[in-house]
Amino acid sequence: MYTNKFNIWFLSSLLISILVIIPITTVFFSFFEDTSRYFEILKETFLFEYILNSLILLIGVLVLTFILGVGSAYVVSFYEFPGANFFKWALILSFAIPPYIYAYSLFAFFDNYGTAFTILKNLFGEGEYNKYIPKFDDMFGLILSISFSLFAYVYILTRSAFLYQSQNLIELGKNLGFSKFKSFYSIILPAARPAIVAGLSLVAMETLAEFGAVDFFSVNTLTTGIYNAWITFDDLAFANRISFFLLLFIFILFLSENLSRKKAKFHLESKGGFKQKEKIILSGSKSFFAFLFCSIIFFLSFLFPLSQMLYWTIKFPENLFDINLTSLLINTLCLVLLSSIVLIIFALISNYGNRVSKNKILNVLSTLSISGYAIPGIILAVAFITFVAWFDENVIKALGFLSIKKIFIGSVLGLVIVYFIRFYSLAFNGIKSGYEKINLSVDESAYLLGYSKRKTFTNIHIPYLRNSILFVIILISLEIVRELPITLILRPFNFETLATTAYISASEDLLEAAAVPSLFLILIAAFFITITSKYILREK
Amino acid sequence: MSENFFEVNNVDFKIGGKTRVKNASFSIKNEGDIICLLGPSGIGKTTILRTISGLERISSGSITLNKKLLSSKSTHIEPEDRNISLAFQENSLFPHFNVEKNILAGTEKKINKKKIISPKEIIKILNLKNILNKYPHQISAGEAQRSSLARSLVSNPDLLLLDEPLSNVDQSFKEEIQVELKQLLSKFKITTIIVTHDSYEAFYLGSKCGIILNGQLKQYDDPYNIYHFPNSVEVVNFLNRGILIPAKVTGGDSLENDDLGIIKGKFIKHYPTGSKVKLLLQPEDLEHDDDSNLKLEVVDRKFRGTNFIYTLKTPSNNLIPVAVHTHHWEQHEVNEKFGIKRPIYIDHIVCF
């Protein structure tokens, strides 16, 4: 496509990409800085434990989300049974439960004299039930909490891959005389591999980034290590050095996935020949087991934590009045609104800049800039503070100006900037996938019909991308409502959101008090999920 | 300054840094003329249209329209500032506009309003009335192509570029729309370059045709000349309407082939007596005669509506095509003998 290389769109895209890349490079360079002696102490004491725990957590969560996500996606995509249409939608509701809220529910339910104890007491009278109730307050509980909260990533992507598998592929298996299991194992599953891996990669990134649940169960991972280095040792360079290890972890994960896939092509471009899949109608015990399987996952992933929070809210209604719910809602929604506007505007400009410029450097920078999502919020927050501190010291003060730290650290502006970096890939990719549906010849036709680049952008692209924009706004909102570490680190003094209030109450061992903000958080998130479900689950 | 309405001079047509067509020159003499560029798929025909429309730049040569320089090494007028319209082969309709709004989008260009082509008339001619309220995803590929053509036409372009404009149109509708398109373009005097891989479409629509092969514009001439006087073996092979057989020039108006004997006619180019040449034999060159003593074996027979095309094998294993009117009462089966009328006379003898 024609273009003047250095047009305004190119420059805007370049600027946006650089802005997002800064914290990432900050982490990288800080690895080579001197740290306090704490790093040496850590290296000799806990670093190995951090890495080992992160690894155990990662493997545990990946195995469980694979079983839950692929299993449920297979059942609802290939079989027809009572409630199949309901479960198709209901299973994504688990997105509304952040891992830390799941962790609170799990802990509270099985705790000594917790909800399970109360249920047993009400059913069977007084008794020594505590010793028979299993405890989920360690690594296993953490794996369960994260898995039930995140398996929907694998479910959604795998289901959409299963959905687009042609009936021809399945009939080919039958024709070759494969058993059902062999068809599943050697045709259906490998064909959906990129989607499954993509889902698992997202789960892996979220797991390594998880802070709330990990902190709640006091499992020492690299993420909590970063937080402790910064909060306990007040050592940013040290925090950054642990961040570097975590980034390395994520990078190896990406690389191994890419290498294992090589250039294998898993699905054909659809140029005809696609035959809509016919679902197998189940009856009798098979139908019952399919229903039971989905019901159990739905119950454990959504109804269980929701009921626990609802139960506490009803049981301790005074908590409803102890917190300023209106202010929490306004703060949360204000952050959602501001961040969404900024993200959408920048993602639109950057995408269009990339589209009209077709510049290789810009392409590389854009790819790097969307890696923000792979970087845990806690690292981004720390890196942002590092950068602002460095810039303030070396540039602003050196030029004789007043410190700008307060403008960016502990302010809504700082929060929005870091949200922007963290969720930029969501916005960028969301808009990009909308853009990919617009043939380049549409732009070229517009130019040939006399439309300028700006007019093509405003009159042709934006109206067409309306649905993608709406979808991205909802996704961003969902993420920001649930987001914890960035908000926790960068929020202004006395500025709380639903997530931070829940976290603070839980960390003060006031789980009952954490229930009210958690419940509202779940309800808002479930509302966002419900209105986007038609996009998430679209079949055509 | 050249007197031609449109001119391409020594241009290397490139896309993505790769040269697709090298050092091409051609021109359109009068405003309102239609020319066609013909060539196999992927040869660079679309790149030529994209470059003329301004979507690609050039690093050598020049492109001028109506005495105005559009492109050269140092000049590049942006596509939105050229009054050139390009109808893409693939669907390039605005996806969120209905067909009517898409067509009317073509009227927004403010550059040249001297010729006013009414959208109503175009809609009627291109038979789009029933789909005006539909969106691009609700219509067929052929309908999308016609809508795109309509949009290009209503923009009153100085030069209209059509990329395989009828490739998705049903065969039954194709001839009808070809006639109407030609009448429409001539009525509004719209200078047009049409890219196609269908030689019949090109020969019908274009007053001149360019054959693009192997990264070069091989021949640019009247359709009649292209067909009857191809200037290279590549053009013959591309048109696939004849074969080359060995022959020896025996005089100023004759040559001899081992299987067919003496062939008389008018040479297009002079060859000295005794020269060994390759003679182009097209299906229309030989005539069938059941009573002739020159008999060849039938190895294939194709029914082409008005004609049968027989493929005959000569004793030297050359395969020769011969057209016979389908009303000829005696049809010949494969392996039968087939008579060729003697003496053989070919109007214009083309040799290489």
Helices (H) and strands (E) counted in chain B, each on its own, are 8, 19
CATH 2.40.50.140 domain position(s) in chain B: 242-349
Percent of chain B scoring above 70 in pLDDT? 97
- Best B50, B92, B107 residue to mutate vs chain A (most A CBs within 10 Å): B92
Provide the b/e sequence for A60-93 (b: ≥16 CB within 10 Å): bbbebbbebbbbbbbbbbbeebeebeebbebbbb
Contact partners, residue A98, CB within 8 Å, separation at least 6? A149, A212, A213, A482, A484, A499, A521, A525
Pairing of strands B307-313, B294-303: antiparallel
- Give the whole-angstrom CA distance, residue B340 versus residue B287: 6
Residue A296 forms part of a structural domain: yes
- At B103-147, the pLDDT tens digits run 998 887 665 556 677 889 889 888 899 999 998 888 888 888 889
Between positions 151 and 180 of B, the ones with CB within 8 A of A are 151, 155
B201 CA to centre of own chain: 6
- Closest-approach residue (CA) in chain A for B88: A441
- Is A448 within 8 Å of B53 when comparing Cβ atoms? yes
According to DSSP, residue B263 is labeled E
- Is B94 within 8 Å of A446 when comparing Cβ atoms? yes
Contact partners, residue A218, CB within 8 Å, separation at least 6? none
The kind and range of the H/E element at A433 are helix A412-435
The kind and range of the H/E element at A512 are helix A511-536
The kind and range of the H/E element at B245 are strand B243-251
What is the total residue count of chain A? 540
DSSP secondary structure of A406-419: HHHTTSHHHHHHHH
pLDDT attached to residue A268: 42
The kind and range of the H/E element at B84 are strand B84-87
Residue A98 forms part of a structural domain: yes
- Give the whole-angstrom CA distance, residue A468 versus residue A431: 6
pLDDT attached to residue A339: 94
Total number of domains constituting chain A:
1
Pull the structure tokens for residue A129.
């039930």
ipTM of the complex: 0.73
On chain B, the residues whose CB falls within 8 A of the CB of A446 are 94
Pairing of strands B216-221, B208-213: antiparallel
pLDDT attached to residue A422: 87
- Phi and psi torsions of A118, nearest 5°: -60, -45
Domain B6-236 is of which CATH architecture? 3-Layer(aba) Sandwich (3.40)
Range of A453's domain?
21-28+50-261+280-536
Pairing of strands B254-257, B62-65: unpaired
User: Strand, coil or helix: what is B205?
Assistant: helix
Q: Is the pLDDT of residue B1 over 60?
A: no
- Give the whole-angstrom CA distance, residue A162 versus residue B74: 53
pLDDT attached to residue B6: 95
Given B55, B88, B105, which is nearest A449 (Cβ)? B105
- Closest-approach residue (CA) in chain A for B152: A449
Given A441, A447, A450, which is nearest B108 (Cβ)? A450
According to DSSP, residue B345 is labeled E
User: Other CB atoms closer than 10 Å to residue A499's CB: what's the count?
Assistant: 26
Are B301 and B334 spatial neighbours (Cβ–Cβ below 8 Å)? yes
Quote the Cα angle for A40-A46-A48, to 5°.
100
Query: 3-state secondary structure string, A163-200?
Result: HCCCHHHHHHHHHCCCCHHHHHHHHHHHHCHHHHHHHH
Residue B62: pLDDT band with limits 50, 70, 90: very high
Whole-Å CA distances, A418 to A364, A540, B130, B175:
21, 35, 52, 62
Are A308 and A109 spatial neighbours (Cβ–Cβ below 8 Å)? yes
- Is B106 within 8 Å of A452 when comparing Cβ atoms? no
On chain B, the residues whose CB falls within 8 A of the CB of A1 are 55
pLDDT attached to residue A240: 72
Cα dihedral value A325, A331, A332, A333, nearest 10 = 110
Q: Is the pLDDT of residue B148 over 80?
A: yes
- Best B52, B96, B108, B153 residue to mutate vs chain A (most A CBs within 10 Å): B96
Pull the structure tokens for residue B56.
């690609």
Are B91 and B148 spatial neighbours (Cβ–Cβ below 8 Å)? yes
Q: What is the mean pLDDT of residues B60-88?
A: 90
Are A213 and A145 spatial neighbours (Cβ–Cβ below 8 Å)? yes
Given A2, A437, A445, which is nearest B54 (Cβ)? A2
**H-type alpha helices, chain B:** 45-53, 99-105, 119-125, 141-154, 171-187, 199-205, 223-228, 233-239
Are B293 and B337 spatial neighbours (Cβ–Cβ below 8 Å)? no
Pull the structure tokens for residue A107.
């802990």
pLDDT attached to residue A147: 96
For the domain made up of B242-349, give the CATH fold: OB fold (Dihydrolipoamide Acetyltransferase, E2P) (2.40.50)
pLDDT attached to residue A241: 75
Query: What's the CATH number where A433 sits?
Result: 1.10.3720.10
Residue A3 forms part of a structural domain: no
- Is B55 within 8 Å of A444 when comparing Cβ atoms? yes
Q: What is the mean pLDDT of each run of 10 residues along chain A (540 residues)?
A: 60 79 72 64 75 91 95 91 91 91 92 87 84 85 95 88 72 73 79 83 84 89 80 71 74 68 47 59 89 96 94 87 88 93 91 82 74 74 84 87 87 92 85 84 88 88 86 86 90 91 87 90 90 69
CATH 3.40.50.300 domain position(s) in chain B: 6-236
- Best B47, B50, B52, B55 residue to mutate vs chain A (most A CBs within 10 Å): B55
- At B257-310, the pLDDT tens digits run 988 889 999 988 888 999 999 999 988 898 888 888 888 999 998 888 888 899
pLDDT attached to residue B115: 63
pLDDT attached to residue A258: 64
Given B53, B94, B108, which is nearest A442 (Cβ)? B94
Q: Is B49 on the interface with A (CB under 8 A)?
A: no
Contact partners, residue A129, CB within 8 Å, separation at least 6? A116, A117, A120, A121
Residue A191 forms part of a structural domain: yes
If one compares A34 and B80, the residue with the highest pLDDT of the two is B80
User: Other CB atoms closer than 10 Å to residue A504's CB: what's the count?
Assistant: 15
CA of A339, closest CA in chain B: separation in Å?
A: 28
Whole-Å CA distances, B266 to A202, A476, B245, B284:
77, 79, 17, 16
